[in-house]
Amino acid sequence: MAIEIENLSKEFSQPKNKKKILKVLDNISLKIKDGEFIAFFGPNGCGKTTLLNILSGIDKSTSGTILINKKKPEESKAGFVFQNYNESMLPWRTIEGNISLALEVQGIEGTKKQEIINHLLKKVGLFEHKDKFFYELSGGMKQLTAICRAFAYNPDLLLLDEPFSSLDYSTSRKMGLELLDIWKENKKTTLFISHDVDEAVFLADKVVVLSNRPAKIKGIVEVKLPRPRKLDVLSSKEFFETRNKILRLFEYEK
């Protein structure tokens, strides 16, 4: 098992009233296999982002344990892709420079660094833009750069927090394909947060359906669509069946 989450709960005390406690995550247990692509699907504000924060080690759980490749979250490497690429990436650096950051922090320099950057950029079709500054790109290309940076960091697990939700429909599907393309080559255990059920089914091996806050696991739906996936999957019968199964689970006992 790549990731083992056991009885994970998270409570926040309100800044104004310390006694009032806000429960965000409620007793979440989940096992994720090495190289699995998991999507979390749940309502807005249910605590999905808190879950990723805890997995990446920047936030701590109130109770429960998490092991990532047998290590604690703060000892493992998480490649994090945020929804707001404009505020998470570096506008003063070029595309190449942004990806380079993830390699600099690992002490990778020189030709080795250049090879990794060139390989990733060629893979996603951004190589010819590598010397452009970050702000010169379109939204989709910016997020693609963020994904490349996360892969360049060579993480134990990849965390994506609604990465495509500020992009338009067709761009976000295209970016989904690009993501699957890099992921196929370098199967990182991936956790993908989404509030778009189509996107979740299209990308993932399993979709974890979460309840309203405090988030509990309502159920886990396996996606049996074959890989590699192409856009025509979106109109297949299996796709609709899986999608409807998730939505029924989501609506159930609301």
**Residue ranges binding another protein (CB under 8 A):** 56-58, 77-80, 82, 84, 87-92, 101-102, 104-105, 133-135, 153
Looking at the Cβ atoms of 131 and 241, the one nearer to another protein is 131
Give the nearest distance from C-beta 55 to another protein in angstroms.
10
Give the nearest distance from C-beta 56 to another protein in angstroms.
5
Give the nearest distance from C-beta 27 to another protein in angstroms.
25
Looking at the Cβ atoms of 78 and 197, the one nearer to another protein is 78
Q: Are strands 189-194 and 157-161 parallel, antiparallel or unpaired?
A: parallel
Give the nearest distance from C-beta 85 to another protein in angstroms.
10
Mention every residue, 6+ apart, whose C-beta is less than 8 A from residue 47.
10, 24, 25, 210, 213, 214, 215
Give the nearest distance from C-beta 36 to another protein in angstroms.
20
Asked if 11 and 213 count as a contact pair (C-beta separation under 8 A), the reply is no
Helix spans in the chain (H): 48-56, 85-88, 95-104, 110-124, 139-152, 169-185, 197-203, 237-251
Looking at the Cβ atoms of 20 and 45, the one nearer to another protein is 45
Distance from the Cα of residue 6 to its chain's centroid: 20
Looking at the Cβ atoms of 105 and 220, the one nearer to another protein is 105
Looking at the Cβ atoms of 92 and 110, the one nearer to another protein is 92
Asked if 207 and 221 count as a contact pair (C-beta separation under 8 A), the reply is yes
